[in-house]
Structure 1
Amino acid sequence: MTLRYDVDAVVLDIEGTTSATGFVVDVLYPYSRSRFAALLTERADDPAVSRAIAQVRELTDTPDADAVQIEKSLNAWLDEDRKATPLKTLQGIIWSEGFARGDLVSHFYDDVVPALRAWHTAGLRLYVYSSGSVAAQRAWFTSSPEGDLLPLVSGLYDTENAGPKQEPESYRRIAAATGTEPSRLLFLSDRPGELDAAVAAGWHAVGVRRPGEPYFEQGVGDHAQAGAFDEIGITSSRSTT
């Protein structure tokens, strides 16, 4: 059965929703882990790196932490899969450069890109809200196996410019930033806590359950669920295109 929604915009999670979590964990995480040390020692004065270093020191309450200690904290967070903003910032820098060099090519489930193109053609606005940094999201969509998908996307949101993904206020912030009424937004994610927060902010939400993903067995609570994007029918009665 196809789920049907009349909305103006769709907001996408990445890991477990558009793309395999295993790819991120098995390919991207090791790639960033092997490059933290060089980034911290060779480019500590870069504004984004410097800001992330300061955030690590603040979060770990170690104001004098050196590059070795900061790398240790980053690796510990990586092991915990903690969605710490400075970790995601530094990973984003490393991944962006890896994608640009051609070392990395992103992953999308087979049903995702056709749906995104169809929704975009139908006049729906598409946004991304991921714990991965905006830089990482941009690189991810630019370097897909099917080419540059970034033109399909109207905006990118992460935990730095929107806030934590399990807090309703983050979704209110995105609604305001996009100029969209909450009731005209649909969020797609595999994580129940994120779906709960979106609904609490007045959004529609669908839990995407893909076999093999970490949250598959847990389910999506009381939320509508789909196993693939082609099970979701989306139109916009307000669309002008």
Structure 2
Amino acid sequence: MKRRQEDFANLVNEVDIIMLDIEGTTTSISFVKEELFPYVRQEISNYLKETWDTQLTKDDVAALTRQVSEDARAGVEPLPTSHSPEVLIPALVATVAAMMDADSKVPALKALQGHMWHRAYLNGAITGHVYNDVVEALQQWKKAGKRLVVYSSGSVQAQKLLFSHSCHGDLLHYFSDHFDTSVGAKVEAGSYRTILQALHSPPPEKVLFITDLVKGELGGVTNLTFIVC
């Protein structure tokens, strides 16, 4: 264990940018699976009813409607053409549940989830989980002059909500940049090229990505350094 800790410290010393995954890395997988996602399933009907006339929800409903019509893989029937909330809300609830069952990562679903979580964080219904040792590491890395960024399958909005409303208080200030799957999947080399470009093209070997992805999924995708935790 001591040797592994020394190796990790040496890797950190050699890089300029540390990029963190979230689920299974900074944050317990159980928080995502047992709190965030169940909250959406349990509260979506009430949320839609309470926010139906807001522009934000109108935009979310329009995006979901387009997604269902474009993607047969959503696994649901087409949404009703009726604009009545009494008719459309139950159909939307079923649509979202089917997308979540399929582990869909489409932007329309991510946006709605993010808006629901935003409300939940603000009213205290949810508090973001972050491991104790992550907070200590963020403090040390920032003090050492490292640039800290996030790359997660969760939307940028969801990332910022989690860190700004964490169980350790507001941690958002530690991070300079956030990336989600809008840049591509974490197993695709092109995703990392896009991120490096957004970070003003640092040498790949100067970037360390800490993630819970298995090594086989990451093998050969880029020249970045990976730590699988």
| Coarse TM-score class (shorter-chain normalised) | 0.7 to 0.9
User: What SS is found at the alignment partner of 1:200?
Assistant: coil
Contact 1:88/1:131 (<8 A) preserved: no
Say whether the 8 Å CA contact 2:68–2:78 is kept in structure 1: no
Q: Does 1:152 align with 2:166?
A: no
Which of 161, 164, 172 matches 2:185?
164
Tell me whether 1:10 sits opposite 2:22 in the alignment: no
Partner amino acid for 2:228?
G
Bigger proportion of residues as helix:
2
Show the counterpart of 1:36. Answer: 44
Alignment CA distance shift 1:194-1:32 (3 Å): farther
Structure 1: give runs of 5+ residues left out of the alignment: 209-241
- For residue 38 of structure 1, report the CA deviation from its aligned partner: 4.3
Deviation of residue 121 (structure 1)? 1.4
Cα distance, 1:206 vs structure 2? 0.4
Aligned: 1:60 with 2:81: no
Q: Which residue among 89, 106, 112 is the counterpart of 1:84?
A: 106
Aligned length: 206
User: Matched residues in 2 for 1:126 and 1:138: separation?
Assistant: 13
Please state how far the C-alpha of 1:93 moved relative to its aligned partner.
1.1
Contact kept in structure 2, 1:166 and 1:193, CA below 8 Å = no
Aligned pairs (5 A) from 1:60-139: 60=72, 64-66=78-80, 67=88, 68-139=90-161
**Partner residue in 2 for 1:203:** 224
Aligned mates of 1:125, 1:195 — CA distance in 2: 25
78-87 vs 22-31, greater mean Cα deviation: 78-87
Amino acid aligned to 2:197: A
1:195: Cα distance to partner?
A: 5.8
CA distance in 1, matches of 2:143, 2:99: 39
Deviation at 1:17, TM superposition (A): 0.6
Question: Separation in 2 of the partners of 1:116 and 1:91?
Answer: 27
CA distance in 1, matches of 2:162, 2:59: 19
Please report the TM-score for the alignment, with normalisation by the length of structure 2. Answer: 0.80
* C-alpha distance in 1 between matches for 2:32 and 2:129: 9
For 2:140 and 2:107, locate their aligned partners in 1 and report how far apart those are by CA, in whole Å.
Answer: 33
SS at match of 1:131: coil
> Which protein is bigger by CA-based radius of gyration?
2
Q: Report the AA paired with residue 153 of structure 2.
A: S
Work out the CA distance in 2 between the residues paired with 1:165 and 1:74: 24
SS of equivalent to 2:226: strand
Q: Report how far residue 64 of structure 1 moved.
A: 4.9
- The amino acid across from 1:206 in the alignment is I
Match of 1:22, SS state, is helix
Q: Give the strand-richer structure, 1 or 2.
A: 1
The answer to whether the 8 Å contact 2:187/2:221 transfers is: no
Q: Is the 8 A contact 1:183 1:203 kept in 2?
A: yes
Answer whether contact 2:130 2:168 (CA < 8 A) is retained: no
Q: Deviations over 1:147-171 (max 9, x none)?
A: 11010000111112x1222211111
Query: What's the % identity of the aligned pairs?
Result: 35
SS in 2 for 1:111: helix
Relative to the length of structure 1, the TM-score reads 0.76
Name the Cα RMSD after superposition: 2.4
Which position in structure 1 is the counterpart of 2:207? 185
Contact 1:106/1:143 (<8 A) preserved: yes
